[in-house]
Amino acid sequence: MDILSPVLGMLVLTLVMTIALFASRLPIIVKNFPNLQAGKHADELRQNIPVGMRNITDNYNHLFEQPVLFYAAALYIHLAGHVDLIHVRCAWVYFGFRVVHSIVQATSNNVATRLIMFTGASLALATMIVREAIVWLGG
């Protein structure tokens, strides 16, 4: 069973959002190239960035928050030799929820839908971590 494929899926999702972030910002970068140093403080600029672009930025940032735990958990499970059907399914469920979360956040940014996607992903990840913690504690 392969738990690393959903990890690769998350890496591809992050790359896609990196490209979307760069593509959405490129026109602004080109337009303001001579004065880029004025944009060194993101908090000051955030209020001037169009909402759609902020959504992409927020999603990009979110892909470096909770998914880090997913990467660590999946790698730990793989290296410990504890990969089983439940872990693999949880990893794919996590990936699926995160893909939908990214699509929603980068487009409509419907918070209720994002909450459902985040909760589903969190439960899948929690299942992986709790199962490993039980094994680690000798249960």
Q: Is the pLDDT confidence value at 80 over 70?
A: yes
Q: Is the pLDDT confidence value at 104 over 80?
A: yes
Q: Give me the phi and psi of 81, to 5 degrees please.
A: 75, 30
Q: How confident is the model at residue 39, as a pLDDT?
A: 59
pLDDT digits (tens, 9 = 90+) for 13-71: 999 999 999 998 877 777 766 766 665 666 656 666 788 888 999 999 999 999 999 99
**Which tokens sit at 135?**
């094994």
**Cα gap 73→109, rounded to integer Å:** 28
Q: How confident is the model at residue 51, as a pLDDT?
A: 86
**Which tokens sit at 42?**
């993101």
The domain that holds 70 is classified in CATH as: 1.20.120.550
Going by the DSSP 8-state scheme, the letter that residue 65 receives in this structure is S
Our count of domains for the chain comes to: 1
The mean pLDDT value for 88-116 works out to: 98
Alpha helices in the chain (DSSP H): 4-31, 42-46, 51-62, 66-80, 85-106, 111-136
Q: Is the pLDDT confidence value at 1 over 70?
A: yes
Domain containing residue 111 = 4-136
Q: How confident is the model at residue 44, as a pLDDT?
A: 59
pTM metric for this prediction:
0.90
Q: Chain centroid to CA 121: how far?
A: 10
- Count CB neighbours of 46 within 10 A: 12
